[in-house]
């Protein structure tokens, strides 16, 4: 009998501070509409001085364990994905283990596996696939594995990336016969190319990126992965022909979201490729005008060309696109507009948001994931929503947590960004959370990070 594995529950952690995008725009002499409407970000999630990717991961994991009444003995792995690691050798997962043992007892997690995965924003999806495969193999000794995506998206002040900053962590509880969603491994597909669209050299605290070029990489890799997914579905007889619409087989979608407008670009490009050649296509072209000729252009040159961008913009105004976007995608973006980019956590925050916002019965629906990481790789995979999902959804509480945050000024934001505050000079006093207590300065512990739970 086939072993069903998937996501049993999800927990999130978002810092308690945020900056209004409008205030950032005014401070930079930018029209606020270019951020709020142009890229779709309304607020930026900002970590306090005592927070880092490790504390956020530990908080998301603690919340996941507490709400499911789990003990260390129930867990096989805590597998963390991040591109915000403070250490080039020691994985964040071991720091998380140490923090959790402050709550569950010294040595209580000594039995677990604790790897870290890095592949920019797609890392948590790769980690999830690894752990689900381990569970499906029957190698697991305990009931669950936990995968965490945790990141702080940080860019130079006055850079084009600054308005997309954000921070969050998401913890996925993985197991057999899950309550939330069952994974469909047969369809999982990849699109991977060696690219320079976004990277962070070891000596840098902020990323080096080419935003325009990265958009092209995202769209190209998603198309490669979508074509592979479609072929696998056809081979399994899930599609009648390779010319059938893949979109018709997917009920909900969450894309990686560097900024919400990028999700619109991604879904529009997916539908353009999916619908091209269908009976409806010629009617659509009556509204959009002809699709641009791509002769002599590479994939990326075409996707970032002015002609294709204009065509895609016209496409997003059609009633056919708007109907699909409203039905399948838009509910994944409410929280992301209030957080900004969170790299590995982003696509999974969208999943949480879909479940919190949807009012229709989702049992049996196919939930598609479009995960992307610069450098570059896309993963398209899917799940089937399970009968027990409603029990899980009532305790997700992402939107509730966002409503309780503290607004900070541009002055506080810049002091935090530029590391002008000491660890004891937090904007809000920590309470019931893990904190970065101090960093080693001696010869044998220089740079080592020490964490503490504050009651």
Q: How many domains does the chain have?
A: 1
CATH assignment of the domain containing 389: 3.40.47.10
Residues 40-45 have a mean pLDDT of 98
Q: Are 163 and 41 spatial neighbours (Cβ–Cβ below 8 Å)? A: yes
Q: Report angle CA 24, 25, 27 to the nearest 5 degrees.
A: 65
Residues 47-61 have a mean pLDDT of 98
Least confident of 206-210, 260-264, 318-322, 399-403: 206-210
- Residues 6 or more apart whose CB falls under 8 angstroms from that of 243 comprise 277, 278
Res. 199 pLDDT band, cuts 50 70 90: confident
Residues 291-310 have a mean pLDDT of 96
CA 229/CA 225 separation, integer angstroms: 6
69 burial level (CB within 10 Å; 0-12, 13-18, 19+): exposed
Nearest by Cα to 313 from 261, 348, 273, 364: 261
Residues 245-268 have a mean pLDDT of 97
3-state secondary structure 157-213: CCCCCHHHCEEEEEEEEEEECCCCEEECHHHCEEEECCCCCEECCCCCCCCEECHHH
Residues 313-321 have a mean pLDDT of 98
Res. 427 pLDDT band, cuts 50 70 90: very high
Q: Residue 426's pLDDT is what?
A: 97
> Given a cut of 70, is residue 247 above it in pLDDT?
yes
> Given a cut of 80, is residue 352 above it in pLDDT?
yes
Report percent pLDDT > 90 for the chain: 94
CA 234/CA 171 separation, integer angstroms: 33
**Which of the two residues, 39 and 2, has the higher pLDDT score?**
39
Q: Residue 209's pLDDT is what?
A: 78
> Given a cut of 90, is residue 347 above it in pLDDT?
yes
Q: What is the pTM of this model?
A: 0.97
> Given a cut of 90, is residue 202 above it in pLDDT?
no
Nearest by Cα to 112 from 103, 124, 100, 122: 100
Residues 361-416 pLDDT 10s: 999 999 999 999 999 999 999 999 999 999 999 999 999 999 999 999 999 999 99
> Given a cut of 70, is residue 1 above it in pLDDT?
no
CA 63/CA 103 separation, integer angstroms: 12
Q: Residue 122's pLDDT is what?
A: 98
CA 119/CA 422 separation, integer angstroms: 31
50: Cα separation from own chain's centroid: 23
Res. 206 pLDDT band, cuts 50 70 90: confident
- Which helix (H) or strand (E) segment holds residue 149: the answer is strand 144-153
Structural domain harbouring 82:
5-454
CA 227/CA 274 separation, integer angstroms: 9
Q: Residue 154's pLDDT is what?
A: 94
Residues 161-180 pLDDT 10s: 999 999 999 999 999 999 99
Residues 122-145 pLDDT 10s: 999 999 999 999 999 999 999 999
């Amino acid at each position: 009998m086939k072993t069903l594995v998937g996501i049993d529950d999800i927990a999130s952690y978002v810092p308690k501070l945020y900056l209004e995008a409008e205030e950032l725009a005014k401070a930079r002499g930018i029209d606020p509409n270019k951020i709020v409407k142009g890229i779709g970000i309304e607020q930026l999630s900002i970590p306090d001085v005592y927070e880092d990717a490790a504390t956020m991961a530990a908080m998301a994991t603690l919340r996941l364990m507490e709400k499911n009444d789990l003990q260390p003995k129930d867990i096989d792995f805590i597998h963390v994905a991040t591109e915000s690691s403070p250490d080039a050798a020691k994985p964040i997962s071991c720091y998380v283990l140490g923090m959790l043992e402050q709550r569950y007892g010294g040595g209580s997690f000594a039995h677990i596996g604790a790897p870290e995965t890095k592949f920019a924003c797609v890392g948590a999806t790769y980690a999830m696939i690894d752990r689900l495969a381990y569970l499906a193999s029957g190698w697991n000794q305990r009931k669950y594995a936990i995968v965490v995506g945790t990141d702080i998206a940080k860019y130079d002040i006055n850079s084009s990336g600054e308005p997309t900053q954000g921070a969050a962590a998401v913890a996925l509880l993985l197991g057999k016969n899950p309550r939330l969603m069952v994974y469909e491994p047969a369809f999982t597909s990849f699109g991977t190319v060696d690219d320079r669209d976004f990277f962070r050299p070891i000596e840098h605290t902020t990323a080096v990126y080419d935003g325009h070029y990265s958009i092209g990489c995202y769209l190209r890799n998603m198309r490669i992965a979508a074509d592979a997914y479609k072929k696998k579905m056809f081979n399994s007889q899930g599609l009648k022909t390779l010319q059938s619409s893949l979109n018709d087989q997917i009920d909900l979608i969450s894309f990686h979201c560097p900024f919400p407008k990028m999700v619109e670009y991604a879904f529009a490009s997916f539908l353009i490729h999916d619908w091209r050649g269908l009976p409806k296509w010629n009617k659509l072209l009556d509204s959009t005008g002809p699709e641009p000729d791509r002769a002599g252009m590479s994939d990326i040159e075409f996707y970032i060309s002015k002609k294709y961008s204009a065509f895609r913009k016209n496409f997003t105004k059609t009633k056919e696109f708007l109907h699909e976007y409203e039905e399948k995608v838009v509910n994944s973006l409410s929280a992301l507009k209030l957080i900004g980019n969170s790299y590995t956590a982003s696509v999974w925050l969208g999943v949480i948001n879909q479940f919190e916002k949807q009012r229709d019965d989702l049992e049996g629906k196919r939930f598609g994931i479009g995960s992307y990481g610069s450098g570059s790789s896309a993963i398209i995979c899917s799940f089937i929503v399970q009968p027990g999902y409603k029990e899980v959804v009532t305790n997700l509480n992402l939107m509730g947590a966002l409503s309780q945050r503290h607004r900070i000024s541009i002055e506080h934001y810049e002091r935090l960004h530029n590391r002008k505050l000491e660890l004891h000079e937090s904007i809000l006093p920590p309470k019931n959370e893990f904190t970065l207590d101090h960093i080693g300065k001696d010869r044998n512990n220089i740079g080592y990070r020490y964490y503490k739970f504050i009651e």
